[in-house]
Amino acid sequence: MNNLSKIMASQDIWTVLLALGLAAAVSLAATPLVKALSVKVGAVDVPKDGRRMHDHPIPRMGGLAIFLGFMTAILLFVPLNTEKQGMLLGAVIIVVLGMLDDKYALPAKPKFLVQVAAALIAVMAGNRIEVLSNPNIFSPDPVWMLGWLSYPVTVIWIVAITNAVNLIDGLDGLACGVSTISAATMLIIALRFRESELDVAIMMAALAGACIGFLPYNFNPAKIFMGDTGSTFLGFIMATVSVEGMFKQYTIISFVVPFLMLGLPIFDVCFAVVRRVSHGQSPMQPDRGHVHHRLIDMGFSQKQAVGVLYVISAILGLSAVVLTASGAVKAMVFLLAMCAAAGIAWRVFLPNGPHDRGEETKADEGESEPAQAGERGENKDG
């Protein structure tokens, strides 16, 4: 903990906290304005089929407020080298694409091509996974030098995480909260693991702050949805920053940590692809089989389902922090202990199963519980 103690005692931590606070303040202040703009331009989710569970139109371009909060902090606190300029240019493209999608419900293939183009811009600017630690600890080669493969590998990583966060955006506050936890995890690791990763820490503080500022409007019952504008932006930034930070390490940690930090969306998108392909469907075909849908089908209320997924994401994030600080064995013990504690808590607080939800659930059902597609019931599979 010596490195972390030194950083906590330095002025760097104040820069990180200022970035977080500023991003949160800008996002919080901008959200009502973005809500009004969404209504004015017609970027509104109108319930018109069985996938929509809310009973009234809700604006769905709230991710623009998150983007504004993040960009304000970045432009003030982070020196913009070529890599960061490429990342931000790609992010702008992603946000513009998301805004258009929130208004016009664009087809999946054109969106995918634009996402690849945005990822290529970031990659060509220098954000590349050039070295991977070898997960085979018995191999004589501790690392893999990717060479020209660094370009397609990094593009695949960025586009995959962009869509993974997009796919979990299915309940009020879910994607925003999970992204906050993942960003906070990366922030702690950047401060703890390498003092040279201060820029990564500031960027993740800005992202977490922007999400925190938006969450009061996004918790159930949501007043505004982040839309594709927000979910794809969050995924793009976290994927690109993880390339600049975690994947630069030459240890087994560099291979495992990003998958732990983003474990929930990664699992969900992998499971979705396997499920759809096995059923003879396109991987982009919307369905109702995501993890949050399954929790709702088990009888959880929306708030309970979101809480469960927050806990899972936090356990994975804390395991990543323990892994970087104490090694793989302690991280595995910690993960198992936390899973056991979560299981006990489940039985204590939900003794009769999720179907016993009480009066709170009845109240929720009378409000807005977008179970099937949640706040993303419009043009994707939630």
Q: What letter would DSSP give residue 173? A: T
What's the rounded Cα separation, in Å, for the pair 336 and 339?
A: 5
* Amino acid at residue number 114: V
When pLDDT is averaged across residues 110-138 and rounded to a whole number, the result is 86
* Amino acid at residue number 276: R
pLDDT at residue 235 greater than cutoff 90: yes
Q: Which two three-digit tokens encode residue 349?
A: 């607080």
* Amino acid at residue number 137: I
Longest dimension (CA), the chain: 61
Would you say how long the chain is, in residues?
A: 382
When pLDDT is averaged across residues 286-291 and rounded to a whole number, the result is 67
pLDDT at residue 277 greater than cutoff 60: yes
The pLDDT tens digits for 32-90 are 999 999 999 999 887 665 445 555 788 989 999 999 999 999 999 999 999 999 999 99
* Amino acid at residue number 229: T
What's the rounded Cα separation, in Å, for the pair 118 and 124?
A: 10
pLDDT band at 172 (very low <50, low <70, confident <90, very high): confident
Q: What is the DSSP track for 50-96?
A: TT---SS-EE--THHHHHHHHHHHHHHHS---HHHHHHHHHHHHHHH
- Percent of the chain exceeding pLDDT 90 equals 39
Q: What is the C-alpha end-to-end distance of the chain, expressed in Å?
A: 40
The pLDDT tens digits for 342-364 are 665 555 445 454 444 444 444 34
Q: Which two three-digit tokens encode residue 198?
A: 């201060």
**What is residue 121's predicted lDDT score, i.e. its pLDDT?**
97
**What is residue 282's predicted lDDT score, i.e. its pLDDT?**
66
111-115, 248-252, 284-288, 298-302: which range is least confident on average?
Answer: 248-252
Residue 151 φ then ψ, to 5°: -70, -60
**What is residue 89's predicted lDDT score, i.e. its pLDDT?**
97
**What is residue 41's predicted lDDT score, i.e. its pLDDT?**
93
What's the rounded Cα separation, in Å, for the pair 44 and 295?
A: 26
Q: How far is CA 196 from CA 50, 241, 269, in A?
A: 51, 14, 32
**What is residue 215's predicted lDDT score, i.e. its pLDDT?**
96
In whole numbers, what is the pLDDT of the chain averaged over residues?
79
Residue 230 φ then ψ, to 5°: -90, -45
pTM for the whole structure: 0.82
Q: What is the DSSP track for 340-374?
A: HHHHHHHHHH-TT-TT--HHHHHHHHTS----SSG
When pLDDT is averaged across residues 244-265 and rounded to a whole number, the result is 66
Using alpha carbons, select from 97, 354, 132 the residue that is nearest to residue 236. Answer: 97
**What is residue 361's predicted lDDT score, i.e. its pLDDT?**
41
